[in-house]
Structure 1
Amino acid sequence: MTKAIIYIPNKNPMQSGAAKSNKWILEFITKDPTKNPLMGWESSSDTLTELKLEFPSKEVAISYAKKKKIDFEIIEPKKRKTVKKSYADNFLK
């Protein structure tokens, strides 16, 4: 049985905007990772780990996983705190 996680990816730390942060990703988990003795890289014979599926909402991702009989775990996004600042705050004390 395949196992997957459903989550919203983090925004790029180099960008300040929150665009493209509303898509949900279904990503498969590696069953049996092996370590390459020569280079030390982690590899697997499971090709599903290379697959990332994008969905417009969490409900669509869950229904897809249930339809395809995929065990899944949902990672809820953390709410981001926004602190409203003004340029004048630099000079007030």
Structure 2
Amino acid sequence: MSARIYQRPKNAMQSGRALTDQWLLDFVPAEAKHPDPLMGWAGSGDMAQQVTIRFATREEAVAYAERHGIAATVHATPPRRLKLQAYADNFR
């Protein structure tokens, strides 16, 4: 069973940064999704895809994965780039 550990990204629909300090552990899908013959919805028999575990720090997530024998890859958080400009720059 393999998983990925990453920091929760900022919601693109809101300007706030709530819950972005959490680290998440998601399991990699073990089987591909296939369409349901009746409704056409995508689904699979892999129940681990529905599990997301939250941690306060990256070290806690890595320790949990090692303790339970989960092969986890840590995805580093990209650095924040701020575009600093004055309001008057909109009119130049």
TM-score by length of 1: 0.84
Q: Take 1:30 and 1:90, find their aligned partners in 2: how far apart are those partners? A: 46
> How do 1:5-44 and structure 2 match up within 5 A?
5-38=4-37, 39-44=39-44
**Deviation of the 1:5 alpha carbon:** 0.5
Q: Counterpart of 1:47 in structure 2: which amino acid?
A: M
Q: Counterpart of 1:74 in structure 2: which amino acid?
A: V
Give the alignment's Cα RMSD to 1 decimal: 1.6
| Cα contact 1:33–1:42 (8 A) shared by 2 | no
> How do 1:4-83 and structure 2 match up within 5 A?
4-38=3-37, 39-83=39-83
**Deviation of the 1:43 alpha carbon:** 2.1
Q: Take 2:75 and 2:41, find their aligned partners in 1: how far apart are those partners? A: 27
* Structure 1 gaps, min length 5: none
| Cα contact 2:8–2:19 (8 A) shared by 1 | no
Q: Could you tell me the percent identity over the aligned residues?
A: 33
How many positions carry a matched residue from both structures?
Answer: 91
* Structure 2 gaps, min length 5: none
Q: Secondary structure at the match of 2:5?
A: strand
Q: Counterpart of 1:19 in structure 2: which amino acid?
A: A
Q: Take 2:8 and 2:15, find their aligned partners in 1: how far apart are those partners? A: 15
**Match of residue 85 from structure 1:** 85
Q: Counterpart of 2:26 in structure 1: which amino acid?
A: E
